[in-house]
Structures are given as structure tokens and as C-alpha cells.
Chain A
């Protein structure tokens, strides 16, 4: 994925193993991060104001790898909350696109659900049309995943997004005093070999990994039944449940802001004080916003809160999978935490299944 500025040498001996497994002692993690920080911008979860947040770090001891959930997902490093696409001169129409420096970056300590979410937004931004801004950042970012333990709002077991077999560069699985490291890309193996002191995984480590997997799967709340969800959605598209669940929506858009798979955006112009030069801005948007589907002249294709809530879930559970074969939800549970009126995927799926229409 990433070239970075290190010389790529052949770093290790494969020793006949079909995958490159290593063991990283926990007391070595700090050194690893600080080593990386010499070459890359390292972004990792840290404690900020009572919550966890992905921030740039230089000091490895700041990093909290054993975190439940960050408030904002790492999508902010690919689809910026607000960014200038280009600057223009409104008189001549001359454009300046040069203001896009992308520094090589390592996202360190990303949960499996968030990595899967990035793979889902890749389909949107790197499809038939390629978004050059997204692509530049994506290609200059290495992702180091880390295992987690489910908290009550987690439901990645329902969507199959609790693991990453391909898609990140390194994945660290917490085995108590050490990490079991799966190298998923050459660049991942390379940074591990260059900046970290690791040793080979023994049979005992693999046994511990199995134990971890068992513990992980048993830590979930009762799973949500997602069988034939698209058909159910068709059957209940005009069900009163949408009014019941959707009408209390505050249209605040908090769920979209914290959702790792929500990628909708708005494009607006801003002018400098001279009234001549300016920039075209792209910023996060939410389909729950009352003007989202309005056209010139005022006709609104989704005028009610309930219709907008239904559209949000229709897009996640019907529209995206019909195109890309996967549900556009990774079960991270952030919207569950953010929503003040208790609208979340778990409730929607349960309502679809059980006919909640009280």
C-alpha cells in the first residue's frame, strides 16, 4: 500500500510459513511506535477529554491500545471533515490544485470493525470514478490493526466484520503480555522488521491465539439475526415501525458523524475576503439533514424525519449490499452511543424481524 521514505530491503526469512506470524512483547510497543514516528506521522488512540480519540503521537507511552471505542472513527483521515478541493480565481476561472501534500502516515491500533469500514468506503471512492484526494491519502497510509473485546453496544458478530484477513498491513492480537502479529502486506512486514523487536510465534502462542478467539466470540451479547434482511426490508418498507422509530429523530446527524461507514458529503464554495479568490470545500454531510434530498424549487424527496431515517438504513442494509454485496454497517456501536433517541441498527434489525410497530 505505502512506499513511505524507507529503503525497502528484503527483511526476513519466510521459513516455509505461508503467513508471517510474529510475537511482539507489550513492553516493546512503545519503542515500535516511537521508531515509526521518526519516519511516519503516527496516529493512534489516546485519551482525550474523557473519551478516546485517534491523534498524532510521538510518545509511545501516550498510546492506549486497550481502548473500547474512539468517539470519531479513523475515516477522518481519509474523508476529511472539511477540506479544500482546490482554490480558484473567480474572475479568470484559473484553478490551483497543488495544495495537497500527503504525508506518509501509520494508523496504529485500529479495531477490525473500523478497518472493514475503510475497506467499504474504498468501494465508493476507488470505484468507476476515483476520488483523487481519498486515493492519495489511502495509498500513503499504513494500517496496524489491534484486537479488542466487545462492549455491550458491539455487534460486529452480526455483520462478520470482527476480523480482518486481508486489508490492513499488520494486525496485533492481544494475548495478555504480548501481541500475536499477523503480517498482511509486505510493507507491514517491513515496518515490523525495521522498527520492532519481535520473535517467531511458537505453538504455545498459537494455542493462546485460539483461546483469545474463543473468549472474543463468547463476550458478545446475544447476536442479532440478520438473515434475509433485504427481503424483510422490502416487506416492511411501508410499515408503521418507521414512523414509530424515525419520527423522534432529532436530525442532528450525530450518527452519521460517528459512523465509520457514512461517507456522504456536501460541496460548497467559500470566498476569501477579497471577493475574488476562494476555495471549493467538501465537508461531511448527513442524509438525516432536512435539506439533503431537496432540489431547486423546494421539492423535497424525503420531507419527513421518518423517511430520512428509513433512507439511512435502506442505504446501509439494501442499497449498498445490492451493489457491493456487503451490508454498510460494521456493528461498531458508535451510533448507539451517539443517538439521544435510541435509533440504532440493532433496534432496526430487531424491529424488522419482530414487527415492532407499537
Chain B
């Protein structure tokens, strides 16, 4: 099957290093930053230096996080690939594994295996304008991409980020993005559904922000990540801006149990979110049953 974009095969190093793809590697929690009531940013360091030194990934890929005794959960990577030695995962306290992780402290040991999946086509995106739309926790995988673009900012045209959340308290990485609003190399617009008295940004759904931006459809690549209901509306807006269907990328959330295309829990139509995704372009996604 022809792939319209191909991930850098960081799994090659992974395969040489690990004969057993189910084997998690011990990692130590090196920092914990509480972002909101339910989301926390964890930073990990792989303990085995051979694994750590050969670890690399693409923005958009995910890790399988083990809390030993509780289980495993797939979490997308939030840090930029250029940040070596550490892995940041932005985790919502939503289930058994993530709940147990939220009770852990710096220095505690978890297991990590990965990276898995196909990330954003970073090389193909170079030379283009980027239009990102993120809702809620959807910013977690996009943060990796944003930081990666930031590291190689000169390779890209205009970068626009539309960021939505339910209320100001639920905006992830709010401090960082508050500062970014004043930068001239990123156009960042934030919006919330329910503002409070401190809020000085936009109010309303993230899709309403499309009125405020101009897009050159011939040189723009769209990126969408957010809650399942957001995709259709965000795609509609991008299509109204005349973006081609194969230039709209989105990352899907599924419950990958194995990460290697075997267990079938993340099946979307005839593809697997874990090896064919989680990043698909809209052309691929519109041909997948039950994608959205």
C-alpha cells in the first residue's frame, strides 16, 4: 500500500536494541508539572544509557507507558525530538494507569516502550505554511510538533496555531502560550468556551477563529488534533479555506494495547492507529470506516 508520508524509521534502532517489542524499559520520573486539575506533564529519563542514547522519534509518535502492577497506556510524546535524553508525556488522569501515574513522585520508576506509529511528515512539511488547530488535550502531541518547528523555524513559512479549550483553567501549557501570543514568528490565537474575569483572549469554539486568519491554500498544510467531535468542524473550515484533502493531517486517539499492529484494539477501518497512524491525512481518513 502506498503511503503518502513515511515516518523516519526510528523503530530500526529500537528493533536492534530490543528483540522483544513488548519489553518496557525502566525509566525514572525526573519532573512533574501540574498543568490543570486533570492533566500533568511528566518528564522521564530512560535508565539504560544504551537505550537512552539511541532513542529518537518523530513528532506525533506515541509511547506505551507501563505502571508496573497496573498496566499499560498509550501516550503521545509532547517533547520535541531535538530534546535529547528526556521524554515528556502530557497525561490526563482518566483511567487506571494514568490514575496510578498521577500518584507517583519524582524518582519513581515506570516502564516505557516505543516510539510507535507514524508521526507528522516533518520533512514534507518544510517549506510550507502551517495551520494548526488544537482542542483540549489535542495540544499534547502538537506541542512536540510546535517545538520541533520552533527548532527549525527558518524552514517554515507562516505558522498559525488556533488553540481552544473549555475554560481558561483547562488550557494546557498556558504560561508558555501566553508568552507566545506576543511573538511575531508564530500567530497564536487562543479561545475558550467559558471565559472567566482574567481572560483576555477570544471566546467561542476554536472553529470560529478561522474568520480571523488568511490562508494561502497552495502552500499551507493543516494539522488537527482534539476531541473526536472537533475533527469534522475543523476539517470543514479547512476545506472552506480550500486546503487540499491530502494536506490536512490529523492525529487519532485509540486504545493501542500492543503498539505493533497485532492486538487489533486500535483498528480503524482496515488500518491500525498504532502502525499506520496515529497521524493520517484527511484523504486516508475519509477512506477509513469509523475514523470520525
Contacts and interface: CB of A to CB of B under 8 A. Distances in A.
Contact of A295 (B26, B69, B255, B267): B255
B69 A293 contact: no
Contact of B267 (A130, A280, A315): A315
Given A93-B110, A296-B95, A302 B23 contact: no
Contacts of A266: 257, 263, 265
A252 interface: no
A93 B47 contact: yes
A95 B69 contact: no
Interface in A241-297: 263-269, 271, 275, 278, 280, 282, 285, 287, 292-297
Interface string B72-112: 11000000000000000000101100100000000001110
A311 B68 contact: no
A228 interface: no
Contacts of B267: 287, 293, 311, 315, 319
Contact of B98 (A85, A263, A268, A296): A296
A318 B98 CA distance: 35
Given A92-B109, A319-B270, A264 B260 contact: no
Contacts of A237: 289
Contact of B70 (A95, A269, A285): A269
B20 interface: yes
A132 B275 CA distance: 18
B71 A268 contact: yes
A262 B26 CA distance: 32
A265 B262 contact: yes
A259 to B, nearest CB: 13
Given A265-B262, A285-B263, A296 B94 contact: yes
Contacts of A130: 21
Interface string B267-279: 1111100010000
Contacts of B258: 265, 267
B263 A129 contact: no
Nearest to B75: A296
A132 B92 CA distance: 32
Given A93-B26, A319-B269, A319-B270, A129 B71 contact: no
Contacts of A91: 109
B21 A129 contact: yes
B186 to A, nearest CB: 29
A124 interface: yes
B198 interface: no
Interface residues of B, number: 44
B127 interface: no
Given A263-B262, A295-B253, A269 B71 contact: yes
Contacts of A128: 260-261, 275
A15 interface: no
Interface string B1-43: 1000000000000000001111110110000000000000000
B109 A294 contact: no
B20 A97 contact: yes
Contacts, number: 129
A199 to B, nearest CB: 44
Nearest to B98: A296
Contacts of B290: 301-302, 307, 311
A181 to B, nearest CB: 34
A328 B48 CA distance: 41
A323 interface: yes
B263 A265 contact: yes
Interface in B145-179: none
B270 A323 contact: yes
A127 B261 contact: yes
B6 to A, nearest CB: 13
Interface in B192-227: none
Interface string A122-146: 0011011111100000000000000
A264 B22 contact: no
Contacts of B95: 296-297
Contacts of A220: none
Contact of B22 (A86, A90, A319, A322): A86
Contacts of B254: 293, 295, 301
Contact of B262 (A131, A287, A314): A131
A67 to B, nearest CB: 30
A127 B275 CA distance: 12
B69 A275 contact: yes
A269 B68 contact: yes
A358 interface: no
B244 interface: no
B228 A299 contact: yes
Contacts of B111: 88, 93
Contacts of B268: 301
Contacts of B275: 128-129
Contacts of B23: 86, 95, 97
Given A295-B255, A319-B270, A90 B262 contact: no
Q: Which of B23, B72, B98, B271 has the most CB of A within 10 A?
A: B23
25 contacts: A93-B24, A93-B27, A95-B23, A97-B20, A128-B261, A129-B21, A129-B260, A129-B261, A130-B21, A264-B263, A265-B263, A266-B265, A269-B70, A269-B72, A287-B264, A294-B255, A295-B253, A296-B92, A296-B94, A315-B264, A319-B267, A319-B269, A319-B271, A320-B270, A322-B270
Q: Which 6 A-B pairs have the closest CB atoms?
A: A93-B26, A90-B68, A319-B270, A129-B260, A296-B94, A93-B109
Given A97-B20, A293-B255, 7 more contacts: A91-B109, A129-B261, A266-B265, A285-B265, A296-B92, A302-B290, A314-B269
